[in-house]
Amino acid sequence: ETGVTQTPRHLVMGMTNKKSLKCEQHLGHNAMYWYKQSAKKPLELMFVYNFKEQTENNSVPSRFSPECPNSSHLFLHLHTLQPEDSALYLCASSQGGSRLDNEQFFGPGTRLTVL
Amino acid sequence: DQQVKQNSPSLSVQEGRISILNCDYTNSMFDYFLWYKKYPAEGPTFLISISSIKDKNEDGRFTVFLNKSAKHLSLHIVPSQPGDSAVYFCAASSPSGTYKYIFGTGTRLKVLA
């Protein structure tokens, strides 16, 4: 595997379900990100982890719970979501450190549908 | 309030001609700008970037121009190729948001053969 991978690619869940999205990066990066992309809206940054420490939580509801066990893996745990949470969830990683080296590499995303 | 705006949701260009994609921003603290390209069913991929100390950066067929006084940047693709058909996002960051990029809504480019 190369780059940034995400599983599953598609997920349909009910509002009472609990599910998790997984992201893995094979680039040796130190920073990882979760973004949400809704139709006709900009990519919205949700969470940032730098060296496994959460450095950004962009006012995300608590029904989204991130976990970063190591620099290569990032999870997004989902619980009692709402239909308006249906979106494309993108994971990204970057080198970390100097800003100008901070090009972000994205995974293919998980298309989430909440019924 | 959207800090990064791409006012054209779509653009069609003939193959071989120039494609110009525009992006406006409101935050004068932004000092680093990027363009990403996204194909369907794939994540965005980095295309080109520019620091606010420059007004132009070129990489092959892709050139980004930055006009700080107008808070405007543009991506020029010349010559355009059918494989360039994708959604293009501009993004910006500021010194206070080290890992935080603010993205625009994207422009869908269609290059006609």
State the pLDDT at residue B98. Answer: 61
- B49 at interface of A, judged by CB pairs closer than 8 A: yes
Over residues A70-96, the mean pLDDT reads 94
Report whether A95 contacts A31 (CB < 8 A): yes
With CA atoms as reference, the chain B residue closest to A103 would be B46
Q: Is B4 on the interface with A (CB under 8 A)?
A: yes
pLDDT exceeds cutoff 70 at A100? no
Say how far residue A69 (Cα) sits from the centre of its chain.
14
Cβ count within 10 A of residue A47: 22
- Is residue B35 pLDDT above 60, yes or no? yes
How would DSSP label each residue in B31-43?
Answer: -EEEEEEE-TTS-
Which of A104, A110, A111 to probe by mutation at the B interface, max B CB count within 10 Å? A104
Which chain B residue shows the shortest CA-CA distance from A38? Answer: B105
Kindly determine whether residue A55 and residue B42, on different chains, have CB atoms separated by under 8 Å.
no
